[in-house]
Structure 1
């Protein structure tokens, strides 16, 4: 799946329907900047918008993801489920990164107590606090999604 090709396909189908980016955005209840990002290949639609987007453009999910009209009989529900799972995995990596950062922070804090000279120990303690807070922030970001 090539974001640029998919974006060009979205633009083509939107224009065939005589819709502006703003009109399509209004149909999907999103900003027209999101449509612009899709059409320029800077981002892809959220999986929750795939079905409404396909309905608005009168295309199938497989056509949208291929970036061209096709006669592929792939199961649309399976594609949606696959996209949802990919997005879940992308989100879960923030949780994993957060846990790793907190673990590094705890390890660094333990090392700071046995390290000499004192200014290095203090620097390690500060770094451990920063790492732990950063990890906590990543976990919170995951939980808020």
Structure 2
């Protein structure tokens, strides 16, 4: 008997509705419905809670193949969570550009290295895009970290892609603006993101 059938059988034996079982396990009713229809498996912690609630062992609930599937699923979730955290931190790292003297600024007879907030001797049409793009990247990094566990499908699919695109835009804008040190700094962050995405696949 598959896990979904076993769970449904155990729930009915205890005369519990899906809603009541969800409350007992501290999950949503949608999660129970998903498990009972065979469209997914609970986490290891939820499995332990189910085992305790119905006084059965985890081995009785799941076959060997199902246990392997759950372990693989948990590993993938952990890898995704790690990638989200790293992407968020890397985007927040862009805030360092406001304070690190990496931007070249022409002086009277030499080029001075200044942070972004002190970059004044450049046209507004160059400085403003720098400020906007760096600020946007930092804000998006904070958003990724704050909404790591947000389960919206569109958000889950697009957040890393948006972060990657912001990094690419940063690299392009700083290269076109003739800022080699900043370009290298941002390109290194982009490389780390790329490596993470490749490993995740």
TM-score with structure 2 setting the length: 0.44
SS at match of 2:31: helix
Runs of 5+ in structure 1 lacking a partner? 1-7, 69-73
Q: Which has the larger radius of gyration?
A: 2
Q: 2:47 aligns with which of 41, 45, 50?
A: 50
Q: Distance in 1 between matches of 2:143 and 2:18?
A: 34
Distance 1:42 1:14, change over 3 A: closer
Alignment of 1:27-66 (within 5 A): 27-40=24-37, 44-56=41-53, 58-60=56-58, 63=62, 66=65
2:145: which partner in 1? 139
Q: Distance in 2 between matches of 1:117 and 1:16?
A: 71
Distance 1:136 1:54, change over 3 A: same
SS at match of 1:22: helix
Count of matched residue positions in the alignment of Structure 1 and Structure 2? 125
1:12: which partner in 2? 5
Higher relative contact order (CA 8 A, sep 6+): 1
Q: Distance in 1 between matches of 2:39 and 2:74?
A: 19
TM-score with structure 1 setting the length: 0.56
Distance 1:101 1:12, change over 3 A: same
How far apart are 1:20 and its partner, in Å?
3.5
Task: Give the root-mean-square deviation of aligned CA atoms.
Answer: 4.2
Alignment partner of 1:103 is 2:102: no
How far apart are 1:63 and its partner, in Å?
1.8
1:3: which partner in 2? none
Distance 1:9 1:59, change over 3 A: farther
